[in-house]
Amino acid sequence: MHFDILTLFPEMFTGPLTTSIVGKAQESGLVSIDVWNIRDHALDKHRIVDDAPYGGGAGMVLKVDVLVRALEAVRGDSDAPVIYLSPQGKVFNQQIAGQLARLPRLILLSGHYEEIDERVREHWVDFELSIGDYVLTGGELPAMVVVDAVTRLLPGVLGDETSSQQDSFQDGLLDYPHYTRPAEFRSLAVPEVLLSGHHGNIERFRRKEALRRTLLRRPDLLEKKDLSSKECQLLEELAEEYSAEGRLNTNESD
Ligand code: 9D3
């Protein structure tokens, strides 16, 4: 898969995209990433990329002529979709990551604490993505988030051990708790079942604890998920645990 990233701050991208799993994926040729400086497409002597908004008001607007020159230079005659990272975009999630991972090429356009001329959005942008409801200084980190989340889904990028299929959001539940040696630390013991070697019980424990975490921390995820009959049964056990706890607490306060 190939990513083209258009930005006013290309130097922001070097560390994250050359390190760790994304760096390895590039080295092994599974993914390639080109970062382009939008300013290289500003042709005036001051290389101006933005201007004051028509109609007045605060803030600056990235110029349509500069952006379109940059986009057309990068896109060439390919039909790769242009994704604009924007606070107004659809909120990025694992499902979108999966859809993007099926494409051969993506062009990501990042702004930096400013808007783009609406004509670019209307005629050159295919999708708009946000990474969540908080205010950043630009679309650079969001572009890196998209590249990271999509890259790790590409065949061959993760080893078998960390198969992306097994992941938290992949099956719609949060992860179960993990432990490693020692079995006891300052009298804090690892749950007995994990030392038992009984794979059926271990599997059941992990499913139940994943459900517990999801129930307590992200009940919204449970509402969206199709639960198996096993999962329904575990969830009923949890509901019983917490209502028993409630009854105990009620007695305490009496
Ligand atoms: C208040 C008017 N604008 C400021 C000139 C709003 C604004 C535009 C651009 C605020 C922040 C930004 C910079 N953010 C992004 O470009 C961005 C973003 C984000 O801030 N949060 C979550 N996802 C994204 S994707 C791109």
Give the tens place of pLDDT for each residue, 111-149: 998 899 999 999 999 999 999 999 999 999 999 999 999
The residues near 18 (Cβ < 8 Å, ≥ 6 apart) are 26
Check whether 252 has a pLDDT greater than 90.
Answer: no
Check whether 16 has a pLDDT greater than 70.
Answer: yes
pLDDT score, position 165: 56
Q: Taking a C-beta distance cutoff of 8 angstroms, is the pair 70, 40 a contact?
A: yes
Rounded-to-10 torsion of CA 5, 9, 10, 11:
-150
Which atom of ligand 1 is closest in space to residue 115's alpha carbon? Answer: 8
- Is the torsion defined by CA of 132, 137, 140, 141 positive or negative? negative
The residues near 49 (Cβ < 8 Å, ≥ 6 apart) are 8, 38, 39, 42, 62, 63, 66
**Which pLDDT band holds residue 248 (cuts at 50, 70, 90)?**
confident
Catalytic residue among 167, 204, 213, 218: 167
Q: Which of 47-51, 116-120, 250-254 has the lowest mean pLDDT?
A: 250-254
The token pair that represents 103 in the structure block = 């494409």
Count of CB atoms within 10 A of residue 33's CB?
20
Q: Taking a C-beta distance cutoff of 8 angstroms, is the pair 101, 1 a contact?
A: yes
Average pLDDT of the residues of the chain? 94
The token pair that represents 75 in the structure block = 């896109």
Distance (angstroms) between ligand 1 centre and the Cα of 202 equals 45
Taking the model in full, what pTM does it have? 0.93
Q: What is the mean pLDDT of residues 29-50?
A: 98
Which atom of ligand 1 is closest in space to residue 59's alpha carbon? Answer: 5
Check whether 253 has a pLDDT greater than 60.
Answer: no
Which atom of ligand 1 is closest in space to residue 110's alpha carbon? Answer: 16
**Which pLDDT band holds residue 162 (cuts at 50, 70, 90)?**
low
pLDDT score, position 168: 47
H-state helical runs in 161-224: 199-217, 219-224
Rounded-to-10 torsion of CA 72, 75, 78, 83:
-110
Does the annotation count 219 as an active-site position? no
What are the C-alpha distances in Å from 217 to residues 90, 130, 177? 23, 23, 14
Does the annotation count 10 as an active-site position? no
Tens of pLDDT, residue by residue over 170-201, are 488 999 999 999 999 999 999 999 999 999 99
Between CA 58 and CA 101 the distance in angstroms is 38
Residues with CB under 6 A from ligand 1: 59, 85-87, 111, 113-114, 130-132, 134-139, 142
Does the annotation count 87 as an active-site position? yes
